[in-house]
Structure 1
Amino acid sequence: MKTERAYKYRFYPTPEQEALLARTFGCVRFVWNAVLRFRTDAFYQRQEKIGYNDASAFLTELKKHPDTAFLAEVSSVPLQQCLRHQQTAFKNFFSKRARYPRFKSKKHRQSATFASSAFSYRDGAIKLAKCSEPLNIRWSRALPAAPSSISISKDAAGRYFVSCLCKVDTEALPITPKMVGIDLGLKDLFVTSDGKKVNNPRHTARYARKLARAQRHLSRKQKGSNNRAKAKQKVARCHAKMADTRLDHLHKLTRQIVNENQVIAAESLQIKSMVKNRHLSKAISDVGWGELVRQLEYKAAWADRQFVQIDRWYPSSKRCHGCGYVMESLPLNVRTWDCPGCGTQRIDRDVNAAHNILKAGTALLAGAES
């Protein structure tokens, strides 16, 4: 079965490429904000929904105006792709899957998408339209096929990345009889039904002193100065380091889980509501539960594994996995408890929850298959 996968690489642009990308990012950002303002005014002032065709016609008029003639200095493909991305954002908003699209700022991550007509890929080299030299990409692994589109991005730390979208054949992993239930936590990143506990590396705490020092230096710089821009980039590099280490750790863990288990069951958490707790919001954001579950879901689908999430109101911690007895209350500070139903003593609440999650998950899969 064919599926689309994105392969991300870092690259180092030449001064010419850096100038071209800066103009492209600026034009894409300008088009996004101008069309968003046009659609917002039409929607809230005239109760009129602007579709992709109307937005494209508005872009054509923008290019003809003398004040916005600079839009012709870059490839037209990223500008058109920008409209497609915005159309998707509005579809998600009207379907209540996302919030209203926001205006883009030059202070944050910049990106531009190039379709196949705006770049060439030959002999492992990618060359952008209106650029004389190929990109200096650090190929950590070879592309499995020619990319259908690429996305160029620049993060707040000043690093450039290219993401290549390729169509590849998915390969199912060999069938294994192992199944696992996963209970997510803060002290331990997660606990499995076979008793394995994976410690929470606490990436934010590891870089807290370095980040605090960089932020103090930033606060002393005069606004608008070059030294402030340099200090701001140091803060961004600290945040990028934390994000990279967190993502790398989660990728390694999820790959191991998917490789070893045929059925993977996890709990469904309402993370957006949980981070509103001001005492736990920083720890919840740092642990990366949402990214962990997202990776398990798509990697299981690629490997032909079964991944299931149980209802978040299921009493996994309060229910004895041996006899099914449910405790009336079980505060978070109680880590082990004795079951009045079957007499089992010193039940570990996390391992017990993982057992119950696995049972509930397999029951859901059995009901779906019957």
Structure 2
Amino acid sequence: MKRAFRYRFYPSDAQAAELTRTFGCVRLVYNMALAARTEAWTLRQERVTYATTSAMLTAWKKTEDLAFLNEVSSVPLQQTLRHLQAAFTNFWAKRAKYPTFKNKKKSRRSAEYTTSAFRYRDGYLTLAKMTEPLDIVWSRPLPQDATPSTVTVSQDPAGRWFVSLLCDDVIEQVSASGMVGVDAGLDSLLTLSTGEKITNPRYERRDRERLVRAQRNLARKQEGSHNRTKARLAVARVHARIVDRRRDHLHKLTTRLVRENQTIVIEDLTVRGMVANHRLARAISDAAWRQFRTMLKYKAHWYGRNLVVVDRWFPSSKLCSACGALAERVPLHVRTWTCRCGHTHDRDVNAARNLLAEGLSVTACGDGIRPQRAHARTGQPSTKQEPPGVTQGTPVL
């Protein structure tokens, strides 16, 4: 399978200038092609293809005003047209919204090179239009005898440079027989059906004071000044520190869950709707539930695991995991509750166990087996039970 390996590198002044110029040209070509395709459809109901935009790019390079496009490698410019075509394909298939223009200040600064635009030999990577290889920090080795098929160079808002090499890799398959239900929360980031609770590190809260000072310092700087640029970088570095630590923590958690368990059951959370609660929006965003699910999904695919996503309307917290009775009301502030059968439940552990039971019943029987549930009365399935108009989530793997 294809797998990307990301490394940090430190360009020379000439390399940084060349890459910055390439980023600008990539953004310009993308925006011009998007404008041309939008105008053609709006005025003439004409659908422009990738081949047409490629011919437009050739014509643009021959004009006096856009002759500078010849100074950078042509491969990243062609790749950005392919990315635009992919964006339109997703839009037509109703998987994404209409493509938007790239912004100089907000859009990701990146350029993609294919095999004809770079040379990789003996651990040295040299890009087109450059005479010296990139000074890459090889924090981990590439797969043995791996040859990159594409190379993507990017720069984050904090000014750090990264290169991502896409290579063929073989994931070592490790057998596992465990089964676990996972309930996401705020007090505990994850609660497992085994009773284990994983503490929420709250990285944004840890660095909030540092972030406030940096943002206050940025607000005092004059627009367009050099000092404001330095202050903006200081804010970006704090954000980068938070993001890096959170990503590292989630990678370790998801890798551990996938390696230890053959079947993993999670709940389909509507994060977009939950962050509308302004009292919890910051905490929910800091928990990064969506990022956790994304990592878990592709790692389960790598290792051949079963990832079951239970419907968001399944009452995992109100259902007794011992007798199957459904409590009438369990408010969010109630962390423990006692069922009429006599069992006292920890809210999160009980939810994780119910999720596991529901996921296993769906896998084995195609639907839930517990009595007196809404989906049993209505005949609707227990997974992905969503009202009309709600976007479907990740399917059961």
- TM-score, structure 1 length as denominator? 0.96
Kindly provide the CA deviation profile for residues 314-357 of structure 1, in whole angstroms up to 9, marking residues without a partner as x. Answer: 111111111111112211111111112x221x211110100011
Residue identity opposite 1:349 in structure 2:
R
Task: Verify: 1:5 aligned to 2:6, yes or no.
Answer: no
Tell me what 1:172 maps to: 173
Assess if the C-alpha contact under 8 Å between 2:53 and 2:81 holds in 1: yes
Distance in 2 (CA, whole Å) between partners of 1:322 and 1:43 is 60
Residue identity opposite 2:39 in structure 1:
D
Distance in 2 (CA, whole Å) between partners of 1:364 and 1:60 is 55
Aligned residue for 1:262, secondary structure, equals strand
5 Å matches for 1:61-140? 61-108=59-106, 109-140=108-139
> Once the 2 structures are TM-superposed, how far is the Cα of residue 170 of structure 1 from its aligned partner?
2.6
> Once the 2 structures are TM-superposed, how far is the Cα of residue 106 of structure 1 from its aligned partner?
2.2
Residue identity opposite 1:339 in structure 2:
C
Distance in 2 (CA, whole Å) between partners of 1:259 and 1:59 is 47
Tell me what 2:297 maps to: 297
Q: Which moved more, 1:296-305 or 1:114-123?
A: 296-305
Residue identity opposite 2:142 in structure 1:
L
Assess if the C-alpha contact under 8 Å between 2:177 and 2:260 holds in 1: no
Where do 5+ consecutive residues of structure 1 fail to align? none
Distance in 2 (CA, whole Å) between partners of 1:320 and 1:160 is 51
Q: Which moved more, 1:158-167 or 1:299-308?
A: 299-308
Aligned residue for 1:104, secondary structure, equals coil
Distance in 2 (CA, whole Å) between partners of 1:191 and 1:292 is 13
Assess if the C-alpha contact under 8 Å between 1:107 and 1:156 holds in 2: no
Distance in 2 (CA, whole Å) between partners of 1:21 and 1:177 is 48
Give the number of aligned pairs: 364
Distance in 1 (CA, whole Å) between partners of 2:41 and 2:244 is 39
Assess if the C-alpha contact under 8 Å between 1:90 and 1:100 holds in 2: yes
Query: What RMSD over aligned residues (CA atoms) do the two structures have, in Å?
Result: 1.4
Distance in 2 (CA, whole Å) between partners of 1:65 and 1:351 is 66
Assess if the C-alpha contact under 8 Å between 1:173 and 1:304 holds in 2: no
> Once the 2 structures are TM-superposed, how far is the Cα of residue 139 of structure 1 from its aligned partner?
0.2
> Once the 2 structures are TM-superposed, how far is the Cα of residue 250 of structure 1 from its aligned partner?
0.5
Distance in 1 (CA, whole Å) between partners of 2:358 and 2:51 is 47
Residue identity opposite 2:128 in structure 1:
A
Residue identity opposite 1:112 in structure 2:
A
Tell me what 1:158 maps to: 159
Tell me what 1:241 maps to: 241
> Once the 2 structures are TM-superposed, how far is the Cα of residue 262 of structure 1 from its aligned partner?
1.4
Residue identity opposite 1:64 in structure 2:
K
Q: Which runs of 4+ in 1 moved over 4 A?
A: none
Residue identity opposite 1:160 in structure 2:
W
Distance in 1 (CA, whole Å) between partners of 2:41 and 2:349 is 51
Distance in 1 (CA, whole Å) between partners of 2:205 and 2:243 is 13
Distance in 2 (CA, whole Å) between partners of 1:101 and 1:284 is 28
> Once the 2 structures are TM-superposed, how far is the Cα of residue 124 of structure 1 from its aligned partner?
0.8
- TM-score, structure 2 length as denominator? 0.89
5 Å matches for 1:1-370? 3-108=1-106, 109-144=108-143, 145-174=146-175, 176-340=176-340, 342-344=341-343, 346-367=344-365
- Greater relative contact order (CA < 8 Å, ≥ 6 in sequence): 1
Q: Which moved more, 1:176-185 or 1:75-84?
A: 176-185
Distance in 1 (CA, whole Å) between partners of 2:278 and 2:46 is 40
Residue identity opposite 1:123 in structure 2:
D
> Once the 2 structures are TM-superposed, how far is the Cα of residue 96 of structure 1 from its aligned partner?
2.1
Aligned residue for 2:66, secondary structure, equals helix
Distance in 2 (CA, whole Å) between partners of 1:43 and 1:245 is 45
Aligned residue for 1:66, secondary structure, equals coil
